[in-house]
Structure formats: structure tokens, C-alpha cells
Amino acid sequence: MATEPVTLHETIEHFGPHRSYPTGARLDTAGDPDQVVKTHCCFCGQQCGIQLKVKDNAVVGFEPWEEFPFNKGMLCPKGIRRYLQGAHPDRLLTAYERDSSAPGGFRPLGYEAAIARVAGEIERIQATHGRDAFALLSGASLTTEKTYLMGKFARMCLRTANIDYNGRLCMVSAGAGNKKSFGIDRAANPWSDIPLADVILIAGANVAECAPITTNYVWQAREQGAKVIVVDPRITPLARTCDLFLPVKPGRDAALFNGILHLIIEHDWLDHEFIEQHTVGFDHVAEHVKPWTPQRTADVTGITERAIRQAAEMWGPAKTSFLLHARGIEHHSHGVQNVLGAINLVLASGRIGREGCGYATITGQANGQGGREHGQKCDQLPGGRDIDNPEHRAHVAGVWGISPDELPGKGVDAYEIFRKIDRGEIRGLLSICFNPKVSLPDNNFVARMLDKLDFYVAIDFFLNESARHADIVLPGSLQEEDEGLVTSAEGRVIKINKCLDPPGDARQDWRIIQDIARVLGRERGFTFDGPQEIFEELRRASAGGVADYAGITYARVEQEMGVFWPCPAVDHPGTPRLFERGSWNPVAQGSGPFYFPDGKARFNVATYSPPAEDVDSEYPIMLTTGRVVSHFLSGTQTRRIGPLVDQYPEPRVELHPQLAATLGIGDQDWTTVESRRGSCTVRAQIVKTIRPDTVFVPYHWSGLKSINQVTIAAQDPISKIPEYKVCAVRVSKAAEPPAYARQLEPQQ
Ligand SMILES: Nc1nc2c(c(=O)[nH]1)N[C@H]1C(S)=C(S)[C@@H](COP(=O)(O)OP(=O)(O)OC[C@H]3O[C@@H](n4cnc5c(=O)[nH]c(N)nc54)[C@H](O)[C@@H]3O)O[C@H]1N2
Ligand SMILES: Nc1nc2c(c(=O)[nH]1)N[C@H]1C(S)=C(S)[C@@H](COP(=O)(O)OP(=O)(O)OC[C@H]3O[C@@H](n4cnc5c(=O)[nH]c(N)nc54)[C@H](O)[C@@H]3O)O[C@H]1N2
Ligand code: SF4
Ligand SMILES: [Mo]
């Protein structure tokens, strides 16, 4: 689609007078560092290699790590500034206890006293209301060892069914779709296959801002003549350079993929041999896409018939290809259907499991991949095992030295935990590495539920907005204060190296969990002396599972700059590219490359249904939400890094000039976005890069600046992911600036 080049973020001036943003403390970077540590960025799932400079037990700067193969020294603005957060004066150095008479509502508490209080409350709540009345919420920015320990702590120490994690808001539609289609939940290819592709289809991924280093892989492909197709309601920075832009109406991707497949079948751009030998279910899907004519697809998706045909013409006959998607197609009440539709295009082409032929969802959080494999999901045990499967239970119980009967069953998802609080079924909560008050949809409800709890303990290194509702806050560790493994978006297991000790009374997260187990008198299974020892157990617990880490060791990870799982034995090279013809896996046992007993991939019907809340005359505009390059997730970390705040200080609503004119809104005007759940007033940013029927607001802020006051808590029935990417709103020029704009104090 031809458009004038418009910059989304660069041309915007800061609002009003320059504020004194909370910045990292001044760092004395003069002089040589004591050591330079090779490790990885703490933010997104790309997990770029970085070297951190350490002086006097503080991280004082960084150097590129040019040998690390993924990013070869390149970093995005967040990676460059990441080192500034540790020195921030808000860093939690002690435990705190709620005390309404104390300044800020909390008073410091000795570490052991805080642990004793937590253990006492857990005992009391579980004794009075049953074991499942105490729930855990964990996070995928934690190392894999910590996520494994959290799952074990829930099931073996607290014996509660109710543990879930923030990847529920992120990776689960992709995970469910991948498991249904391929039997395994991991990027199918290393990123080195991207530059070898002739056509790259990017759906619902703002690559340049959210996976910035991946941009380089796409550009390498383009330099070799690859065609790039982007599907997004917004012309994202990468989309401005693409060959074909498909401005999909939010929530209509399954229809689009069905429409493209319809044309591919019509033109017989199919790999019949692959479909025959390596898949099941094609005929059923072919029947399902018959009614998805170009005209019907155009009517539903808002994309012209011509563009839909062009997409099929580019994708269909290509020799090699790569399909990438991210939350834009996944954050929906039918996110799994969208993912299945995307995968059907890959399977129909047969372009998978070969050089230059690939597919991946772009994992979001630092350890979004490793954090979804080893048992902190409500239905999962280590190794990607299923908590309902008797054999899987027996294996894990054996490693833990308990009877399978002692393992609880399936718990509920992260949002359902809050509904259970509402119903009085959950009375106590421990959260670690999660900020639900900002990041969950319809979050005024979430804040009320945090207050409703009998007892809430949060483990973090900053007092995030959720932790402000806690009874006890425990000071956890920053990424650079511990070692451990994480798995990058590619499926590469890599190592975070420790740079410094936690300051003050702060503790490494795994120590805090083990201390609670000790004081509860249930320390058996929780006496690890460090992450490596936890990992050695994880290797055994994962052995024979789909996510098999048995052959991975710390030494190998360092020597080989990462090992791709599955890796079942120490002499196994690891598996950078999944599904190669003739490959062996534990599920198929040699019968074929995919992770099902017959070794075949599954075509699944991708059913289109409209969003849970469609527009109407009362709420006529679609709201979609997401990210900007300089902030990360709920903003707890990046809102404390001055230069990143300067780059994008406040949330803004992006709207098209046509819509702005209809509504009488000018650039920078205070604008209210209102849904049936709540409203949010932010400055307008008028851009030609968005559909005129849609507005976009990034979600990295809290309180009155939080767009999750407005979003809807509808969830996908299979994955339980919330529908962050579409709800119905009305938009108007605000009568007056919001309360926060009138305060001079920086906002949390
Ligand atoms: N700068 C930055 N980078 C990050 C993060 C961050 O917070 N900040 N977070 C990390 C994490 S955890 C994640 S999950 C990833 C997220 O990475 P992305 O998924 O790439 O980012 P989002 O901004 O959530 O959404 C992506 C795109 O989806 C589009 N979109 C909205 N609705 C639809 C739709 O219905 N269909 C389609 N096709 N597109 C749609 C939006 O316009 C947006 O451009 O980023 C990771 N990297
Ligand atoms: N409207 C809207 N909402 C969204 C999204 C969207 O696109 N739109 N995206 C969703 C997505 S994809 C995601 S992933 C979620 C993320 O939502 P959250 O997971 O709630 O966001 P984070 O900011 O990662 O919160 C993590 C907290 O963990 C802390 N932390 C980080 N590392 C560590 C550690 O190693 N140890 C400890 N103890 N604490 C740590 C941070 O300080 C922070 O307070 O948000 C979701 N919410
Ligand atoms: S792309 Fe992701 S991992 Fe790399 S520097 Fe940026 S935030 Fe860090
Ligand atoms: Mo995410």
C-alpha cells in the first residue's frame, strides 16, 4: 500500500515543560571496570548477548559482545540502557510490611521476620480454607531454574493446584496452536534461516520496535531479493519498507489466512508430496476454506481483494519462505484459531524443516520460551509434560521422590485466579516477577481483588504497582545478581552470568522460595545450593519429555554459545532446526519429523469468529494495544531508566487524521478513550500509519495512564489469553486534562 513516510515516534516533542523523570542514580563510570561479564540483555526474548562492566559491586556500563552469534554486538535502545536500572534509588534493599501509619504505607521488616510471617500466613490460609486457597503467580523473565523451582514449590511444598504465570498473557495462544499442529511448542527454526527465505510473511508483529534485532535478519533477506509481506492494522516501522502491506481489521486474521489458503488451493500452489507424506487433516481444512472467497475475505478483513490475491501470489509459488507472528494475531479471544490459520499456510506450502524454510512465533519475555516449558503453567509439569497424564506425573514424582498421588491436578489460569479471589475461593497469593495490576485487562477489577485477599506477598526488586497492595514485600534479585539459563526466541538455551551480589537484604529469588519452604518445615526437595544444582535436577525431570534438556550442561552452553533443545544426551548436538526429514523425536520414535505418534503434522480448521466485543453505534471504534520501542511491559523497569523515559515519556493514543477530523481532535489534544469498563485520557498522536477505524495505545503505564482500565477480560477458550488486541471504544476530546497532568510529581 503506497503511503507517505510518516514517523510514529521520532517527531513528537515531549509534553509540556521537561519533567524531572526518575532516572538511574549517577554512575561513576570513570576508570577501568573490575570485570567485564559476558551475559544477556534482561529484557526481550531475543536475549541479545551483551558484556556488562562491573565496578565496586555495581554494573556501570556495557560493551558489545560481538562474537555472540544472534546479535553480533548489536543492541536496541533498551539493551544499551539496561545497566542503568540497578542503581536506581527505588531498588528494594529490605523486606517491607504493610503499615498504614508509616510513610508510603509500608515499614521495613527484617528478612527472617518477613519470611516467618509469609510461612505463617500460608499455613493459616491452607489450614482454614484448603491447600488450593493459596495461589502463586510467577513470571517468564525468571531463569529456567527459578521457573522450575516455582512449579515444584507449588506442587510439592504448598501442594496447591493454583500456580500460573505471566506468559498466560503472552505466549499461550502460540503455544497451544503449535502443539495442536506440530506437537511441540518452540520456534521451528533458528533465525539464520530467515535471510535464506524468498518470501517473509510477518503477521501481528511490530518487529522493529519489539524484536529489534530480528529486523536485521529480515533486511538481510531483502538484500538478497526476498519479498516481505506485513499484516497489521498499523504501518509499523518495518512495514514501511515492505513489499505488500495488508492493513487487517483487528481480530480478523483467521479470515485472512483462510482467504489466502483458498487462493493457494485454487491455483494449486501446494506441496502435494509433503501434504501426503507428512500431514493429516488437509481435506477437512480445504473444505473449510472453500467459502473464504477473496470477496468474502475482503469484506471481513477490510483488506482489498487485490491485496489478498497479491499475498497468495507471493506466498504460494515461493521456493523458500519464513512466517513470523507475534501477539498481534495471538492476543485475541480466538488467538489460537489465528495461529492455526497461519500454520496451515506453512503446512500447505511444505516449506518447513528445511534450510530457508521456517516458521516461528516471536517469543516476548526474556525467558518467554524456557519459562513456558518446565512446570509453572497451571496444567504443566517439567519437560513440557502434562499434569493430567499419569505417566508424566509418575516420572516427575519419581524425580522429586514423592508419590504421584501427592501431586495436585490442574489449576486455573492467571486471570481465573482473580475471579477465584472474587468468589472467596482463593484467599492468599504469592506473586513473583509479575505486575498484574498493570498488565491484566480490565485492571480496576484486579486492583480490587488484590485488596480483597487475606494475605498477599510480592517478590520483586522494585515496589511495582501490584506490590503496593501487598502485606509483605520481599526484595528479590535483578537478573545480573544471579546465574542461570534462559531459552531465547530461537530455542537456544543460553546462560545468564552473575555480575554482582544482591545489595542489602535482597536475596536471589530461589533462596527466598527455599527459605519459605524451610520455615514451613517442608524443606525436603528445597535445599539446592545454587542454580546449577537446580538445573541438574531439571535435566532429569525433563528427560524423555518433549522439552528435553537432559543433554544440556552449563559447560556446554558456555562452550557452544548456546544449545538448542531438544537435546536428550550430552553427545547430542542439540536441535537448531526442528522437523528435518528423517529426524528422530521421542514422540514419533522415528516414524516422521513431527511430534505426534505417527510423526505427521496436523492441519487444523481455523474458525473465524468476530471479536468478543465488536463495535456498535455506542462504541464505534476499535482499540488495539501494544508496545513502543523504549519501554518494556508494565514499565516497572524502563520507567526508571531516564533516557528511555525521555524517548517516550507518556502514553499517547495514535489515531488517523480522518478519524481525528471527524472527532474534532488535534495533534497533542487530551483525548479520552472509553469502553464499557473504564476510560483513559492521554494525548493524541495523529498518524497516517493506522487504520481510520482503529486507535492504538501502548500499555506500559499504571494508574490513570493505564489503558488496561479500558481493555476487555475476554479470553481464548483454549489458551486463556486475554483479548488485548481488540475491544470497542468511543473516543472524544477531553473536556480537561487528566488529574495526572495537573500534578508536577512524576507518575508511577
Ligand atoms: N520495546 C519492547 N519490546 C518488547 C516488549 C516491550 O514491552 N517493549 N515486550 C516483549 C514481549 S513480552 C512481547 S509479548 C513482544 C510483543 O511483540 P509484538 O507482538 O510485536 O508487539 P505488540 O505491540 O504487542 O503487537 C504487535 C503488533 O500487532 C498489531 N496488531 C494489533 N491488532 C492486530 C490484529 O488483530 N491483527 C494483526 N495482524 N496485528 C494486530 C499492532 O498494531 C502491533 O504492531 O515484545 C517483546 N519485546
Ligand atoms: N493492554 C495490554 N496489556 C498487556 C499486553 C498488551 O499487549 N496490551 N501484553 C501482555 C504481555 S505479552 C505480557 S508478557 C504481560 C507482561 O506483564 P507483567 O509480567 O506483569 O509485566 P512485567 O513488567 O514483566 O512485570 C514483571 C515484574 O517482574 C519484575 N522482575 C523482572 N525480572 C525479575 C526477576 O528476575 N526477579 C524478580 N523477583 N522480579 C523480576 C519486574 O520488576 C516487574 O515488576 O503484559 C500483558 N499485558
Ligand atoms: S532486542 Fe531485546 S534482548 Fe536485544 S537489546 Fe533489545 S530488549 Fe535487549
Ligand atoms: Mo509478552
For position 715, which CATH number holds? 2.40.40.20
Strands ordered across the beta sheet of 492-496: 484-487, 492-496, 563-564
Residue 77 CB less than 6 A away from ligand 3: no
21 vs 333: CA distance, rounded Å:
37
CA of 655 to the centre of ligand 3 (A): 28
HSE of 377 in the Cβ direction (CA atoms, 13 Å)?
Answer: 28
Q: How many domains would you assign to the chain?
A: 4
147 vs 416: CA distance, rounded Å:
20
DSSP 107: E
CA of 421 to the centre of ligand 2 (A): 21
Position 315 in a domain: yes
Residues 288 and 413 in one domain: no
Residue 32 — very low, low, confident or very high, per pLDDT cuts 50/70/90? confident
Residue 239: which domain range?
Answer: 186-362
Q: What is the pLDDT of residue 614?
A: 97
Each residue's pLDDT tens digit, 235-293: 999 999 999 999 999 999 999 999 999 999 999 999 999 999 999 999 999 999 999 99
Position 557 in a domain: no
Residue 327 CB less than 6 A away from ligand 1: yes
Each residue's pLDDT tens digit, 179-219: 999 999 999 999 999 999 999 999 999 999 999 999 999 99
Residues 216 and 355 in one domain: yes
Residues 721 and 679 in one domain: yes
Residues 127 and 76 in one domain: no
Q: What is the pLDDT of residue 560?
A: 97
Residue 742 — very low, low, confident or very high, per pLDDT cuts 50/70/90? confident
Sort strands 428-432 and 134-138 into parallel, antiparallel or unpaired: parallel
Residues 476 and 384 in one domain: yes
Residues 342 and 431 in one domain: no
Q: Which atom of ligand 3 is nearest to the CA of 214?
A: 1
Residue 551 CB less than 6 A away from ligand 1: no
Q: Which atom of ligand 3 is nearest to the CA of 632?
A: 7
Each residue's pLDDT tens digit, 689-737: 999 999 999 999 999 999 999 999 999 999 999 999 999 999 999 999 9
Each residue's pLDDT tens digit, 288-311: 999 999 999 999 999 999 999 999
CA of 325 to the centre of ligand 1 (A): 9
Q: What is the pLDDT of residue 19?
A: 33
Residues 312 and 208 in one domain: yes
Helix (H) and strand (E) counts in the chain: 23, 28
CA of 366 to the centre of ligand 3 (A): 9
Do 563 and 569 form a contact (C-beta atoms < 8 A)?
A: no
Position 38 in a domain: yes
Q: What is the pLDDT of residue 87?
A: 85
Query: Which of 146, 369, 418, 460 most suits a substitution to test ligand 2, by most atoms within 8 Å of the C-beta?
Result: 460
Residues 342 and 193 in one domain: yes
Do 705 and 673 form a contact (C-beta atoms < 8 A)?
A: no
Q: What is the pLDDT of residue 30?
A: 59
Position 538 in a domain: no
Q: What is the pLDDT of residue 9?
A: 26
Terminal Cα-to-Cα distance of the chain (whole angstroms): 40
Domain boundary, last residue among 499, 530, 561: 530
Q: What is the pLDDT of residue 10?
A: 25
Do 571 and 582 form a contact (C-beta atoms < 8 A)?
A: no
Comparison of pLDDT for 229 and 18, the residue scoring more: 229
Position 109 in a domain: yes
Q: What is the pLDDT of residue 21?
A: 36
Q: Is the pLDDT of residue 540 over 90?
A: yes
Q: What is the pLDDT of residue 702?
A: 96
CA of 304 to the centre of ligand 2 (A): 37
Residues 100 and 55 in one domain: no
Query: Which residues 6+ apart lie within 8 Å of 464 measured at CB?
Result: 435, 437, 438, 458, 634, 636
Q: Is the pLDDT of residue 24 over 80?
A: no
Q: Which atom of ligand 1 is nearest to the CA of 365?
A: 12
Protein residue with its CA nearest to atom 29 in ligand 2: 433
CATH number of the domain encompassing residue 23? 2.20.25.90
Each residue's pLDDT tens digit, 465-498: 999 999 999 999 999 999 999 999 999 999 999 9
Q: Is the pLDDT of residue 640 over 90?
A: yes
Residue 41 CB less than 6 A away from ligand 3: yes
Domain boundary, last residue among 509, 530, 551: 530
Q: What is the pLDDT of residue 29?
A: 55
DSSP 234: B
Protein residue with its CA nearest to atom 45 in ligand 2: 439
63 vs 176: CA distance, rounded Å:
38
Each residue's pLDDT tens digit, 380-431: 999 999 999 999 999 999 999 999 999 999 999 999 999 999 999 999 999 9
Q: Which atom of ligand 2 is nearest to the CA of 440?
A: 47
Q: What is the pLDDT of residue 17?
A: 26
Residue 115 CB less than 6 A away from ligand 1: no
CATH number of the domain encompassing residue 194? 3.40.228.10
Q: What is the pLDDT of residue 743?
A: 65
Position 739 in a domain: yes
455 vs 457: CA distance, rounded Å:
7
Residue 44 CB less than 6 A away from ligand 3: yes
Least confident among 29-38, 190-199, 473-482, 583-592: 29-38
CATH number of the domain encompassing residue 155? 3.40.50.740
Residues 283 and 419 in one domain: no
Q: What is the pLDDT of residue 1?
A: 34
Residue 86 — very low, low, confident or very high, per pLDDT cuts 50/70/90? confident
Residues 707 and 649 in one domain: yes
> Once rounded to an integer, what is the mean pLDDT over residues 680-693?
98
Question: Which residue type is seen at 59?
Answer: V
Residues 191 and 318 in one domain: yes
> Once rounded to an integer, what is the mean pLDDT over residues 60-87?
93
Position 103 in a domain: yes
The pTM score is 0.95
Tell me which ligand sits closest to the C-alpha of residue 205. 1
Protein residue with its CA nearest to atom 43 in ligand 1: 206
Query: Which residues 6+ apart lie within 8 Å of 256 measured at CB?
Result: 231, 246, 248, 297, 301, 303, 308, 341
Residue (of 57, 120, 36, 6) closest to 667 by Cα position: 6
Q: Which atom of ligand 3 is nearest to the CA of 71?
A: 4
Protein residue with its CA nearest to atom 23 in ligand 1: 626
Comparison of pLDDT for 371 and 103, the residue scoring more: 371
DSSP 86: T
562 vs 144: CA distance, rounded Å:
14
Domain boundary, last residue among 474, 501, 530: 530
Residue 14 — very low, low, confident or very high, per pLDDT cuts 50/70/90? very low
Share of the chain above pLDDT 90, in %: 93
CA of 43 to the centre of ligand 3 (A): 6
Burial of 401 (0-12, 13-18, 19+ CB in 10 A): exposed
Q: What is the CA radius of gyration of the chain?
A: 25
Q: Is the pLDDT of residue 4 over 80?
A: no
Position 404 in a domain: yes
For the chain, the average pLDDT equals: 94
CA of 641 to the centre of ligand 3 (A): 15
